[in-house]
Chain A
Amino acid sequence: MSVLSITSLSYAYPEGGGRLAVRDVSLDIEPGEFVVLAGGSGSGKSTLLRASSGLVPHFHGGTFTGTVIVGGMDTRGHGPAEIAAVAGTLFQDPETQVVMGTVRAELAFPLENRGWSGAAVARGVEEAALALGIAGLLDRPTHELSGGELQRVALGAALAARPALVLLDEPTSQLDPVAGDELLGVLRRLNEEWGTAVVLAEHRLERCLGAADRVVALRDGAIACDADPRAFLDWAGAQAPELQTPGARLFSLAGLGPAPVAVKDARWTLRRSIPGFAARGGSAPHPGPAVQPSRAALRRARRETEHLERVRLDGVWVEHREGPVALRGASLSLAAGETVALMGRNGAGKSTLLRVAAGLQDPTRGKVSKAGRVALLLQHPGDYFVRERVGDELSDERLAAAGLAHLAERHPRDLSGGERQRLALAIVLGGDEPPSVVALDEPTRGMDRARKAGLVIELRRLAAEDIAVVVATHDAEFAAALASRTVLLGDGVVVADAGTDEVLGGGWYFATQTARILGGAPLLPEQGAEVLRELMAAGEPDGAPAPIHPEWAKP
């Protein structure tokens, strides 16, 4: 029997003006299946998950037709609390998914709600904690946990009662690559060892396709493709290029096939298809040259670019009162027209660095010098809106310049994610004094590929106007597409500051999928495909290798 069976489901939110968020969806998920839900923003992934957990229609209201049967329970007759016994649910934001004060209480909460005995609760908590590797956190207060830890605790709470199905709505969107990979590893283990069926909505498909048995792609609320990962990638190549993984795009541009589901898969195909790739042992990433330039080189570079410098941080420390050290003598200089990506784990100091540069936070030590204003777009664009009309947030002239004039009468909260971000960006770029630096903190969280591409174009346009652009991001693909230079922070210290090719080409976690496949730069599928084509053209049947150099990737 299917653990989740959806038949002819159509649904419209009460405030949606009758627009169907999900239309005529039929889907069966078998026990132990790992299913990835793909689709752009607003395609219906979250709604489908909410319908599967019973929140639609019980919590959200709206117009609902069709049937959703979860673990034998029809959601029309059983609410989300009853469905929770067979389906655990995890949303995007870890902050609002943890309701108790300690990890132990959080894991115990769903078990206690089911009336389990004290001994059974204690056992369930211990087992869930061990399975998810959070036993060491059990007595920690939840407000002290990092985003990654919180998300694992929330997953633990969703799984504590050993449900047969777990529904996850972009659980890694707010996590750094390391924490995101760890969470996906946990899901994979749950699926393989416990036989838990997993339905995972995710934008960064390259991270999870390797674990998936099946991919369901949604478009405008309807199922556009339901196939195994390889067939899905073939379909995406022909029908929905925005859903292609970088690896699949690399192969399709290079004229190779079949589309790889994961990095290992891609390397295996390349080794078999291109003798030159096999001969250079392409599977080992380049350690790369020392990415920290020498002091002399730094001094020289500084002298050369001094007149272009827009902001400079020299040995900046930020030590929170009764708290941790966020920055430990970090130095950074941004020149006019430069595009810089700031990367590092959660808590590495990226946001703090941007806040210091923008004057939102004072350093406890060190010096900040600026030539002009630093416009800072924080992580939540919605925080910039306090008025009831978009037209009240910005003058007509600026709205028109941002291409948002047609939205003037709308409430800012009713805008789509992309529109919100454009409005917030227009707000921080406004003012009497144009900015010399634009800083964006995690602008791609929860964004689909199409919106990311739009943002890259927008930021490049700003850089072309001699504005320095700096973006704190976890998204290596986005960084590679935008930035000419990447700064890697670790524990408040700049650990690498070099060209993006160099930093992201030699990384393991902080690397694009193309770089992982090719074992170093180039970073983007377009550049990688060029290299592969050259390798294929140069490669001899007897195996004479054509070396891949980072220089080849330069546009």
Chain B
Amino acid sequence: MTYRRRSSPLHAARAAIASLWCVAVSGVALGLGHPAVLLALFGAVLVAGRLARVGREVARGALFAVPFGVLIALVNALVVREGVTVLLALGELPPFGQIDVTLEGLTYGAVFGLQAIVVVTCFALHSAAVDPDDLLRAFRRISFRSALTAALATRMVPVLARDARRLADAQRCRPDAPAPRVAVLRAVATGALDRAADVAATLEVRGYGAARRPGRVVRPWSRHDAGFAVSLIAVVALAVAAAIWDLAPFEAYPRVSGAWNADVAIVAGALVAAALAPFADRRGIGRR
């Protein structure tokens, strides 16, 4: 949606690798629940955004995610009945029943919220730095139509957003009372259907209906392909090792417990270093 080719190692890497790198960082954030590790990963994604010259887009994604993270933390604290350290006894609250806000519930929610923030921020980085067309090409051998649908959805978002803005502007130009929101929404939806029909007609005349499975395109690996591939393997390997040897333990229930020691710092530091290392190579990152 926000992709624009910039001179950065992440943009220079092939889309499949860049995409897997983003997915790997998100996956590690979901797999390792230690707050220190999550904060380190969050910082790494923000720095990666800066190094990929899409810092503003990534920061915008992070800001968008923060309210959701906070909401997750609060809802978890209100609905979960686990944990032994009661911070606030709210009593009977229909339809939830007895509500006790516990430190453990709040902590678990905060960690969960932080994980959501890291994942959304990673997605923002993905949107800004991974070429959707290149990605489509990579995945169309697996599922051509699904990949195209995803690419089209991405392409249609700004088109429909523009349509909605246009419609809102036209409504502002009406001198009488503004139309009910339901009516405006209905018009937006109808307009989206019209747009979809136009795009479908275009797809037909571009030969999409008779599309064949594309041939395999052999493309030599660039230094950035290799760099990010090694980075994502290293990130995943570190996370697996940390999980197997319990290097960054953290539990919210029944009582908040976790290690805050050198092992955790090493895991967090190593993850950040592994994730950001390929950004150090600045050769061959320019646009074609």
Q: Which A residues are closer than 8 A to B by beta carbons?
A: 53-55, 58-59, 79-85, 88-89, 91, 93, 95-102, 104-105, 109-110, 112-118, 138-139, 141-144, 154, 157-158, 161, 355, 358, 360, 373, 375-378, 380, 382-387, 413, 427-428, 430-433, 435
Contacts and interface: CB of A to CB of B under 8 A. Distances in A.
A115 B169 CA distance: 44
Contacts of A138: 288
A431 B4 CA distance: 44
Contacts of B173: 358, 360, 375-378, 384, 428
A360 B169 contact: yes
Interface stretch (B46-54, B75-83, B88-96, B180-188): B180-188
Contacts, number: 171
Given A96-B198, A431-B176, A101 B3 contact: yes
A80 B205 contact: yes
B184 A386 contact: yes
Contacts of A88: 205
Nearest to A90: B205
A427 B174 contact: yes
8 contacts: A82-B209, A91-B202, A99-B151, A101-B131, A139-B287, A380-B170, A413-B190, A427-B174
Nearest to B200: A59
Nearest to B177: A431
Nearest to A119: B217
Contacts of A59: 200-201, 204
B255 interface: no
Q: What bracket does the count of chain B residues touching chain A fall in?
A: 35 or more
Nearest to B180: A386
Interface in B109-168: 131-134, 136-137, 140, 151-152, 154-155, 158-159, 162, 166-167
A110 B206 contact: yes
Which 3 pairs, one residue from A and one from B, show the smallest C-beta to C-beta distance?
A431-B175, A81-B209, A105-B133
B205 A158 contact: yes
B187 A113 contact: no
A113 B208 contact: yes
A141 B4 contact: yes
Interface in B176-229: 176, 179, 183-184, 186-187, 190-191, 195, 198-218
A55 B5 CA distance: 35
Q: Which one of A104, A112, A355, A435 has the highest number of Cβ atoms from chain B below 10 Å of its Cβ?
A: A112
Given A79-B204, A141-B3, A375-B173, 12 more contacts: A59-B201, A83-B205, A95-B162, A100-B151, A109-B206, A114-B207, A114-B210, A114-B212, A141-B5, A386-B186, A387-B183, A430-B175
B171 interface: yes
B16 to A, nearest CB: 15
A105 B5 CA distance: 13
Nearest to A380: B166
Given A99-B206, A113-B211, A383 B169 contact: yes
Q: Which one of B200, B206, B216 has the highest number of Cβ atoms from chain A below 10 Å of its Cβ?
A: B206
B204 A157 contact: no
Contacts of A385: 187
Nearest to B170: A383
Contacts of B174: 384, 427-428, 431
Contact of A81 (B167, B207, B287): B207
A433 B175 CA distance: 8
Contacts of B175: 373, 375, 428, 430-433, 435
A109 B213 CA distance: 12
A96 B199 contact: yes
B205 A53 contact: yes
Contact of A386 (B169, B183, B213): B183
B203 A99 contact: yes
A82 B210 contact: yes
A81 B134 CA distance: 23
Contacts of B5: 102, 139, 141
A158 B154 CA distance: 22
A415 B111 CA distance: 56
B172 interface: yes
Nearest to A413: B190
Nearest to A160: B206
Contacts of B207: 81-82, 84-85, 110, 113-114, 161
Contacts of B3: 101, 141
A172 B4 CA distance: 28
Nearest to A359: B172
Contact of A99 (B140, B179, B202, B216): B202
A142 B151 CA distance: 13
Contacts of B195: 96
B206 A157 contact: yes
Nearest to A116: B215
A80 B187 contact: no
A16 to B, nearest CB: 16
Contacts of A360: 169, 172-173
Contacts of B167: 383, 386
Contacts of A382: 191
Contacts of A430: 175-176
Contacts of B172: 360
